[in-house]
Amino acid sequence: MATLLDGRKLSATIQEELTEEVKKLKVASGKTPHLAAILVGNDGASETYVASKVKRCEEVGIQSTLIRLEENITEQTLLYKIEELNANPAIDGFIVQLPLPTHISEQRVIEKIDYRKDVDGFHPINIGRMAKNLPAYIPATPFGILQMLERYKIPTSGKHCVVIGRSNIVGSPMSILMARNTSVGNCTVTLCHSRTQNLSDYTKKADIIIIALGKPAFLTADMVKEEAVVIDVGITRVPDSSKKSGYALKGDVKFEEVAEKASYITPVPGGVGLMTVTSLLYNTLLAAKKEIYK
């Protein structure tokens, strides 16, 4: 039976460390880190994510400002708002919650953010610097996974890592990070996606599988080799009348059967999701301390 990679426990530990760091910064410089978040429209999942980011900021002593904008605002208005945040010295870092309404270009929005305040790590400058192994903000979900692998002391050097899904926010950066010449890294990486043929030929040979596609229970035990490390990024809401919310959160892994075979596995919920917010707080602290960019 696999050991659980417990995102709840680990994020609580890192959160305590962050709280201490924030306190130290305040004592040393009188500065309180400040994160702003822009939320456009009323998408249910986005509301939940942003609310959890704001709450977790409060818990570690990071100041947060939530800017809500109407679903039908123009792209230009959003870009002006971003320029204001770029120019505001009181804001250390900020995020624009994705997805955006379809009439707004995500790419133009991301590129408008000052890369030095881009604590989500989505700006092409941060992605490029990450790829070159230069100091950069690393996107929160991949960063959270790196932290998990590091803190659980999971060997990665020389291992075969299969990443499933090639999104800009998870799969693609993850594949770059796992191949870098860094202590968590040095893997031989295979990036699989919707056009991959015979996916299980790859997954069956993987020492580490990181799956981010959004299809509940997609990865089954017959696709996984004995003792593999399995990281489940997927979060899908499925209707569940037994829950107060009316839905349950499901990962991309058929947990019960894969856990029998794997050496380590993340649960959903209670795995990668919590680490993601922790990493955003971490990046905000780095921004306040000007550790990545002066």
**Among 115-123, 145-153, 187-195, 284-292, the segment contacting ligand NAD (CB under 6 A):** 187-195
Interface with ligand NAD, residue 249, by CB under 6 A: no
Q: How far, in Å, CA of 189 to CA of 208, rounded?
A: 9
Site for ligand NAD in 46-85 (CB under 6 A): none
Q: Which residue is closest to ligand NAD by CB? A: 214
Interface with ligand NAD: number of residues (CB under 6 A): 23
* Residue 82, Cβ density class (10 Å: 0-12 exposed, 13-18 middle, ≥19 buried): buried
Residue the block writes with tokens 């790419």: 107
Active site residue 63: no
Interface with ligand NAD, residue 170, by CB under 6 A: yes
Interface with ligand NAD, residue 95, by CB under 6 A: no
If the CB atoms of residues 64 and 278 are measured against ligand NAD, the closer one turns out to be 278
Closest CA relative to residue 216, chosen from 158, 260, 268: 268
Active site residue 53: yes
Contact criterion met (CB below 8 Å) for 211 and 234: yes
DSSP 216-264: TT-B-GGGS-TT-EEEE---EEEE-TTSTTSEEEE-SB-HHHHHHH-SE
Q: Residue 169 contacts by C-beta under 8 Å, 6 or more apart in sequence?
A: 98, 122, 139, 141
Among 192, 228, 262, 285, binds ligand NAD (CB under 6 A): 192
Among 121, 173, 234, 267, binds ligand NAD (CB under 6 A): 234
Q: How far, in Å, CA of 203 to CA of 218, rounded?
A: 12
Active site residue 97: yes
Contact criterion met (CB below 8 Å) for 147 and 119: no
If the CB atoms of residues 53 and 261 are measured against ligand NAD, the closer one turns out to be 53
Interface with ligand NAD, residue 212, by CB under 6 A: yes
Among 10, 62, 130, 272, binds ligand NAD (CB under 6 A): 272
Binding site for ligand NAD (CB under 6 A): 141, 164-167, 169-171, 192-194, 196, 199, 212-214, 233-236, 272-273, 276
